[in-house]
Amino acid sequence: MQCPFCKAPDTRVIDSRLAEDGTQVRRRRECEKCSGRFTTFEKAQVAMPYVVKRDGVNEPFEEDKLRKGLQIALYKRPVSAEAIDHAIENILRKLRQTGEREVASHRIGEWVMQELHDLDHVAYVRFASIYRSFEDVNAFREEIERLQKMPSAEARKSQLPLIDEPERRRK
pLDDT band (50, 70, 90) for residue 164: low
With residues binned 3-state (H G I as helix, E B as strand, rest as coil), the percentages for the chain, rounded to 5, are 45, 20, 35
Strand, helix or coil for residue 47: coil
Through-space distance between the first and last CA atoms of the chain, rounded to whole angstroms: 43
pLDDT band (50, 70, 90) for residue 169: very low
Q: What are 21-66's pLDDT values in tens digits?
A: 788 899 999 999 999 999 999 988 778 899 999 899 999 999 999 9
Residue 170 confidence (pLDDT): 44
Q: Is the pLDDT of residue 69 over 60?
A: yes
pTM for the whole structure: 0.61
pLDDT band (50, 70, 90) for residue 156: low
DSSP symbol at 51:
E
